[in-house]
Structure 1
Amino acid sequence: MSYDVENIRSHFPSLASGIAHFDGPGGTQTPLLVGHAISNTLTGPLSNRGQGVRSELNADEAVGQFRAAMADLLGADPRGIVYGRSATQLTYDFARHLSKTWGPGDEIVVTRLDHDSNIRPWVQAAAQVGATVRWAEFDPTTGELPASAIAEVLSERTRVVAVTAASNLIGTKPPVREIADLAHAVGALVYVDGVHYTAHTSVDVTALGADFFVCSPYKFLGPHCGVLAADPEVLSLLHPDKLKPSTDAVPERFEFGTLPYEIMAGVTAAVDFLATLGNSGDTGVDAAGLGYADPRSRRERLVASSAELDEHENLLRSILDSGVAKLPGAIVYSRAADRTPTLLVEFDGIDSQELARFLASRDIAAGASSFYALEASIALGLGERGALRIGLAPYNTVGEIDRLLSGLSAFITGGQ
């Protein structure tokens, strides 16, 4: 394996703190070049978008480059890339847009496995128009959400199926394409929460069958914002409330107000950095500081990098899983056959919140909560308190896992 994690880590100034970050599912650390892209855009000549002076062109280019980068990352059409403040905000927006055509008798499908941001907006939008919400249940003993669970609640009245591509709580990756095919067979649209999925898997929204796919760049080394990808033809059929002078063009009609060009530039830089992971974090700059060309397209480099990252994270996950299984009283909730390198665990007789605080005292970041996946946490018997979540990211190492396992053992056995 050519994945050079130490070289990759050298691009993250925050890692000099000595903190071992297993909190990636809540947001990753950020490489320096992302910060530079934000700073350079914000402090360079910058105006509202236009085709006149350089400052106008810089703003316009930041938007175009952002759409192209996210389209490459997601296997999407850049004309269907929508910027948002967060995935939650985008989902609330699109629940409102889509619900304009719903009424009594229509049905919306949500799942117990999802983050609340892909549940509550749909539940609330349905309630406002008198539509019915149908719940798809996952199996808490296995963590699996089979397509059959969706099929049980589908009907000819289903308008939208909202489903996660990967659980942010236990890592389960449902068979999204199979679910999408079932939904499309009854004429329903499919809204996929890809926030956790995008950080760990090469995405192809067309192959997934997603009509709408939402993600958050800060979960994959970028700045805090949200992105939605959809077929521009589908977007053209939706008419959001907007200011009269604002454009009706797609995708701009869904982006309200002046865009944060510096944040968009940061997202582009994050995608460019992700494309280097397949070259051991080689950012395309030689020792003399000169750039050089890679003959592959950015999309091809992203797919190759994702494969390298997957191999690295799977190796770490196997060490983590094995080590946790050996600890006394371990109860592991991440049990699905296909899942991300995310582990939800508690230990018999141990308060997970206290355990997380102890780990923090050792500069190990791994939180304990339901992490907004409230329905899933309740279904697992954990209520609102949740459990300890350990998530892997591109910069994690075997040594950090050893530190984590040592910390867990020390607290559990009382040898603090």
Structure 2
Amino acid sequence: MSTIPPPAPRLMPVDEVRAHFPALSPDVAALDGAAGTQVPVAVVQAVAEALRTAMANQGGAFAASRTSSEVVAEARSAIADLVGGAPEGVVLGPNMTTLTFHLADAISRTWGRGDEVVVTSLDHDANVRPWRLAAERAGATVRVADFDAETGELPAEAVQRVLSERTRLVAVTAASNAIGTRPGVRAIADAAHAVGALTYVDGVHATPHVPTDVAQLGADLYACSSYKFCGPHTGAVIADPVLLERLRPAKLVPAPDAGPGRFERGTPPFELLAGVRAAVDWLAGLTDAAGDRRTRLLAAFTAVEGRLQGLLERLVAGLSAIEGVRLLGSPRRRTSTVSFLVDGHAPGAVASRLSEQGIAVWAGDNYAYELMRRLGLVETGGAVRASIVLYNTAAEVDRLVDAVAALGAAP
């Protein structure tokens, strides 16, 4: 007797999604999500309510202080549900870059001459420069795993070739913020672990696009930023609590000496952390899936990924058909992010012309400095980047393609 599988969870229609975002306008195609998303009303309200509520620094015996501690705990729990970690392993901070510099300082305290660190040319500079500088201070050597310049792929073998028994850490992105490439992080992590190295995975660009499970990825430390997934401007690093306990970060003497709190410098922005929890709760409600928050988040991001991949295919097909337009890379697994060049037009000029038509895209290196350098584009202004997120529409994609086609046809 055959069993009929249950229907897939229904994703909120894009028009309904857009109705939650007060900053969106039909006059502007906001194809700039890779640099930061807009926020839904639920997040705005959560931040405003937190500012209206009496809060104080943590550790006090009175109600306002307890409220602040609850807000922090709820933010840790929300991030843990989002990426599959444990709340006690969630380090909160202002952004991924600041946290990565801080973690690099703590992790590199045990490095010395002869030790090696691996970075990749596919990564955002925030997952390259902190490790280069930490290695320089420790006297360690940095080795680079290069992506394939033609396809944009970063095969696990490219990382394996630069590993040795002296490798202490491998820093790799879960998705390129410039060309969307999603390398096989699990295979890379397995290779790193086989030589006794830690993995530090930059999940900033991947987290808003795909379901995330840090354990399945093999990430020892996973970094993300809430302003990329419809939240306020904060960041987080998620790790095994046991690993965090082994690290000795630079801290003030009276600051917490245990748990993730000892990695968090200064007073946190409690109102923004209230917005983090609200953003994760809102994302968990994007489908009609039942279950706990983690289950609903996995259902939501599975559905979102499917919708975004359809829009990505539309964008790639449209731009590829335009004479004089060159797309950077053609990775098999990618997020809905595309960088491209238009013959005869500087990237900055293209972005400006598109802006005049109400189309928001980025131009430049987008901090993917090593990628642009490998492609020989640093001196010529980088590339134009269009990034599609959950509130973008097919009409906006078509609008971009038509505008680029008109630009390419212009003398």
TM superposition score category, shorter chain reference: over 0.9
Residues 154-173 of structure 1: pairs in structure 2 closer than 5 A: 154-173=163-182
Structure 1 length-normalised TM: 0.94
2:259 corresponds to 1:250: yes
Partner of 2:5: none
Q: Deviation of residue 329 (structure 1)?
A: 1.0
Residue in structure 2 matched with residue 93 of structure 1 by the alignment: 102
Which residue of the partner structure matches residue 212 of structure 2?
203
Q: 2:291 aligns with which of 265, 272, 296?
A: 296
Instruction: Measure the CA separation in 2 of the matches of 1:406 and 1:3.
Output: 27
Query: Which residue is equivalent to 2:196?
Result: 187
Residues 254-333 of structure 1: pairs in structure 2 closer than 5 A: 254-279=263-288, 295-333=290-328
Unmatched segments (≥5 aa) in structure 1: 280-293
The amino acid across from 1:395 in the alignment is Y
Deviation, 1:249, is 1.3
Tell me the secondary structure at the aligned position of residue 28 of structure 1.
coil
The 5 A counterparts of 1:14-413 are 14-16=23-25, 18-50=27-59, 52-279=61-288, 295-384=290-379, 385-413=381-409
AA at the equivalent of 1:406: D
Separation in structure 2 between the aligned mates of residue 184 and residue 295 of structure 1, nearest angstrom: 36
CA contact (8 A) 2:149 2:329 kept: no
Moved over 3 A (4+): 50-53
Look up the match of 2:4.
Answer: none
Letter of the 1:338 counterpart: R
SS state at 2:49 partner: helix
1:414 aligns with 2:410: yes
Secondary structure (helix, strand or coil) at the match of 1:252 reads helix
Question: Is the counterpart of residue 10 in structure 1 residue 5 in structure 2?
Answer: no
- Counterpart of 2:214, as a letter, is V
Q: Deviations over 1:6-52 (max 9, x none)?
A: 00000000113621111000001111111111111122111122464
Identity between Structure 1 and Structure 2 (%): 47
SS at match of 2:319: helix
User: What CA distance in whole angstroms lies between the structure 1 residues aligned with 2:12 and 2:276?
Assistant: 23
Quick one: which amino acid aligns to residue 204 of structure 2? V
Q: Are the counterparts in 2 of residues 278 and 309 from structure 1 also a CA contact under 8 Å? A: no
Alignment-derived partner of residue 290 in structure 1: none
- Structure 1 residue 406, shift from structure 2 partner: 1.8
Q: Aligned partners of 2:366 and 2:29: how far apart in 1?
A: 19
Q: Deviations over 1:106-162 (max 9, x none)?
A: 000011111111001101111111110111111001101111011111000000000
CA contact (8 A) 1:171 1:334 kept: no
Give the aligned length.
Answer: 401
SS in 2 for 1:29: coil
In structure 2, distance between residues paired with 1:409 and 1:403: 10
- Does the 8 Å CA contact 2:11/2:286 hold for their aligned counterparts? no
1:313 touches 1:341 (CA, 8 Å); kept in 2? yes
Q: Deviation per CA, 1:203-227, whole angstroms, max 9, x where unpaired? A: 1001100000001110110111111
Question: Which residues of structure 2 form unaligned runs of 5+?
Answer: 1-9
For residues 353 and 259 of structure 1, the distance between their equivalents in structure 2, rounded to whole angstroms, comes to 36
Specify whether residues 408 and 247 from structure 1 end up closer, same or farther in structure 2 by C-alpha distance, changes over 3 A only: same
- SS for the counterpart of 2:154 is coil
Return 153-162 or 307-316, whichever deviates more. Answer: 307-316
* Aligned equivalents of 2:42, 2:307: Cα separation in 1: 22
Residue type matched to 2:329 in 1? Answer: S
- Deviation of the 1:381 alpha carbon: 2.3
